[in-house]
Amino acid sequence: MERNQIFINYGDQGKMMVKDLLQKIEVEAELQKDDLIALKPNLINATKSDQGATTDPEIVKGAIEYLQQKGFNNLMIIEGSWVGADTDNAFEVCGYQELALGYGIPIYNLKDDNFIKKYYQGLEIEIAEKALAADYLINFPVLKGHCQTNITCALKNLKGCISDFEKRKFHRQGLHQPIAYLNKLLKQDLIIIDGIYGDLDFEEGGNPVKMNRIIAAKDPVLVDSYAAALLGYSKTEVEYIEIAAQIGVGSKDLSRAEIAELNKDQGVEINYSSQKIKKLAAKIEADNACSACYGSLIHALKRIEAKGELTKIDAKIKIGQGYQEKEFSGIGIGSCCSGSESFVNGCPPSARDILDFIAAEYSFKL
């Protein structure tokens, strides 16, 4: 797999989807049989993955089964939840303790690890010894919003590999620069993003948006740039992406990315229980909408609401396969709605594409 490649598999069957991705990218070609392979999920707290905060254990299961079938058995699961959260409890509630026992893999609470001080451009960062010892680090972040940095994905998920003292210090330092610098000191070799559920705007979950996709990449800056667009942000609105690109962690140039979709999402109506999301969904008229496309629209509407412009949308926005080959007035989302008088192209379009289109239609200022 090349660093400019991004692979996407749509659906919600995590184990099978990850196996398909790993077979496509032939991860085994990069590994030696005795390599110590670290699997780093996002277990910020003790909540199930369908609440939008934590990595679906089925995704990690798929990676384990694929690697073990290829003869790679020197695996470990590592994580340190955020300050104030009990990582061992998160392992239990999120299904990782059972997973580790079932596959005979050691699981490590990095809060109990030894920490090694590393330095980049004068900044000291304490990094867990086990994370540094890995020959190959597979990062399993969740595609979700964040209350301080707008998004959290590949670059930020490495915070689980530092001490609680360091996590507090990161917040005092404004998060962005230390997150970027951490990625110069600790390399992630493969990124598998859980984009099945991710929270609308908060890293702890509670308002999950079903996006029905898993994304694989090697460049954390490139894939975070892609993730930002999926959630309706430009790269400049996520400062640590800019800094990481400047110091050579990776490329933010999506125009040079090779994006390959293994399949397309299927139309499934999603009934959201979150009142916050229901408010946004009131602007939508869906007919057999794919969750990947519908999720992008929800994220775009959230960005419009944050700008104070949601009330200006005076007609329902149409979305879904039920509108194929139909002509209708108003705004349509995605290629299925190409018969509308104005529509956002793409299958699925990103939240950023939708946001820019609706902003132009209604003369919003972004």
Which of 149, 151, 276, 290 is CA-nearest to residue 207?
276
Q: What is the DSSP string of 246-302?
A: HTTS----GGG-EEEESS-PPB-------HHHHHHHTTEEESS-BHHHHHHHHHHHH
Which of 112, 142, 138 is CA-nearest to residue 42?
142
Is the domain spanning 5-261 CATH 3.30.420.40? The answer is: no
Question: What does the alpha-carbon distance between residue 212 and residue 238 come to, in Å, rounded to a whole number?
Answer: 23
DSSP 3-state assignment of 97? helix
Question: What does the alpha-carbon distance between residue 286 and residue 321 come to, in Å, rounded to a whole number?
Answer: 9
For the chain, 366 residues long, the average pLDDT of each consecutive 10-residue run is 96 97 96 97 97 97 98 98 95 98 98 98 97 98 96 98 96 96 98 97 94 97 98 95 98 96 80 90 93 94 94 93 91 94 93 95 84
pLDDT of residue 19: 98
355: number of Cβ within 10 Å: 28
pLDDT of residue 270: 73
41 prior amide bond cis, ω within 30: no
pLDDT of residue 139: 98
Question: What does the alpha-carbon distance between residue 83 and residue 349 come to, in Å, rounded to a whole number?
Answer: 36
Counts for the chain of helices (H) and strands (E), in that order = 13, 16
Q: CA quadruple 163, 88, 138, 263: dihedral positive or negative? A: negative
pLDDT of residue 238: 97
pLDDT of residue 269: 64
DSSP 3-state assignment of 141? coil
Question: What does the alpha-carbon distance between residue 293 and residue 351 come to, in Å, rounded to a whole number?
Answer: 9
Question: What does the alpha-carbon distance between residue 111 and residue 131 come to, in Å, rounded to a whole number?
Answer: 12
User: 96 φ, ψ to 5°?
Assistant: -85, -30
pLDDT of residue 89: 98
How far apart, in Å, are the Cα atoms of 102 and each of 2, 40, 63, 95? Answer: 33, 18, 14, 11
Rg for the chain (alpha carbons), in Å?
20
Question: Going by C-beta distance under 8 Å and a sequence separation of 6 or more, which residues neighbour residue 105?
Answer: 64, 75, 76, 77, 99
Q: Where are the domains of the chain?
A: 5-261, 275-362
Question: Is the pTM value of this prediction over 0.75?
Answer: yes
